[in-house]
């Protein structure tokens, strides 16, 4: 490495974030290489993109999660990728909430939604679990549903008889990954607004697709608690 490369590296390094987090952003997914780039890991994909934009690096394991500290809009933010598998995401999220005394209103959850087309976004201030087992566990263990959330579309099953567990654990196609890369850019624009308490503006600006009126599809529970 030349001295000029070293200077560029130093200039690109972000200062360490000090002090306890004021917000939590949790991206939901399943750990393990076999789940990489699968539909149920859309939450992981989005939060990894946000960490990269903020210059934060995952690698510290705490609260049953792979975590990173970031600073965005002057806010200290704990980024979390739970290690618990999807069904038990609430164990990780509520542990961090309790440790730092952070209320649900300052915990943003990013997760996949099979009722939206691939890449569509639905941002909400609060609400039900929408049939998603990870969100269901967070609401159950916290006793609250006032979590701001970003639902990322992963597409409906190819046909009604297709096994739901197999669908959500299937890999995205190359074209779908390109679409999600653009979606990640949008998520990275929406999150700073949500951290500023302007979730309504983020909803108006970034919600895409048509609101689905049908009852959300309820997930099943595949092996390893991965649903």
pLDDT reported for residue 209? 62
Query: Catalytic residue at 36?
Result: no
Q: How many other β-carbons are positioned within 10 Å of the β-carbon of residue 103? A: 11
* Position 222 in a domain: no
Question: Can you give the CATH number for the domain in which 205 is found?
Answer: 3.40.50.1470
Q: 51 lies in a domain?
A: yes
Q: Per residue in 105-153, pLDDT tens?
A: 999 999 999 999 999 999 999 998 888 999 999 999 999 999 999 999 9
Instruction: Reply yes or no on whether the pLDDT at 14 is more than 50.
Output: yes
Residue 201 within any structural domain of the chain: yes
Residue with tokens 């890999």, as numbered in its chain: 171
In a domain, 168, yes or no: yes
3-state secondary structure the chain: CCHHHHHHHHHHCCCCCCCCCCEEEEECCCCCHHHCCEHHHHHHHHHHHHHHHHCCCCCEEECCEEEEEEEECCEEEEEEEECCCHHHHHHHHHHHHHHHCCCHHHEEEEEEECCCCCCCEEEECCCCCCCCHHHHHHHHHHCCCCCCEEEEECCCCCCCCCCHHHHHCCECCHHHHHHHHHHHHHHHHHHHHHHCCCHHHHHHHHCCCCCCCCCCCCCCCCHHHCC
Is 204 domain-assigned?
Answer: yes
13 pLDDT tier (thresholds 50, 70, 90): low
**Residue 224 domain-assigned?**
no
- Asked whether the whole model's pTM tops 0.75, one would answer yes
pLDDT exceeding 90 applies to what percent of the chain? 74
Q: Domain count for the chain, please give it.
A: 1
Residue 222: what pLDDT? Answer: 46
Q: 150 is in which domain, residue-wise?
A: 19-215
- Residue 37 has a pLDDT of 93
Which of 36, 40, 61, 159 is catalytic? The answer is 40
Instruction: Tell me, yes or no, whether 73 lies in a domain.
Output: yes
Round to whole Å and give the CA distance between 26 and 47. 7
Cα–Cα distance for residue pair 39/94, rounded to 1 Å: 24
Q: Give the per-residue pLDDT at 214.
A: 42
Do 202 and 121 form a contact (C-beta atoms < 8 A)? no
Q: Is the pLDDT of residue 52 over 80?
A: yes
Tokens standing for 221? 């529970």
Q: Is the pLDDT of residue 216 over 60?
A: no
223 has pLDDT over 50:
no
Average pLDDT in the 213-217 region?
A: 45
pLDDT digits (tens, 9 = 90+) for 65-91: 999 999 987 899 999 999 998 999 999
Given this model, what pLDDT does residue 17 score? 67
Give a yes or no: residue 57 inside a domain. yes
**Given this model, what pLDDT does residue 208 score?**
86
pLDDT over 90 at 213, yes or no: no
């Amino acid at each position: 490495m030349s001295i000029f490369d070293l200077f560029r590296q130093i200039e690109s390094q972000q200062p360490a974030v000090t002090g306890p987090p004021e917000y939590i952003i949790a991206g939901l997914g399943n750990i393990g290489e076999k789940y990489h780039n699968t539909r149920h890991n859309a939450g992981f994909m989005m939060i990894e993109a946000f960490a990269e934009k903020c210059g934060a690096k995952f690698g510290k394991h705490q609260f049953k999660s792979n975590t990173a500290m970031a600073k965005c809009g002057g806010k200290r933010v704990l980024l979390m990728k739970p290690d618990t598998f999807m069904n038990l995401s609430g164990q990780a999220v509520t542990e961090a909430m309790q440790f730092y005394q952070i209320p649900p209103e300052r915990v943003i959850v990013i997760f996949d939604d099979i009722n939206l087309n691939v890449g569509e976004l639905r941002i909400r201030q609060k609400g039900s679990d929408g049939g998603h087992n990870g969100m269901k566990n967070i609401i159950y263990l916290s006793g609250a549903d006032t979590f701001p959330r970003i639902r990322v579309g992963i597409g409906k099953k190819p046909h009604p008889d297709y096994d739901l567990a197999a669908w959500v654990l299937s890999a995205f196609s190359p074209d779908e990954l390109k679409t999600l890369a653009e979606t990640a850019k949008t998520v990275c624009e929406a999150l700073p607004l949500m951290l500023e308490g302007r979730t309504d503006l983020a909803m108006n600006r970034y919600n895409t697709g048509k609101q689905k009126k049908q009852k959300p599809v309820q997930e099943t529970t595949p092996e390893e608690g991965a649903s």
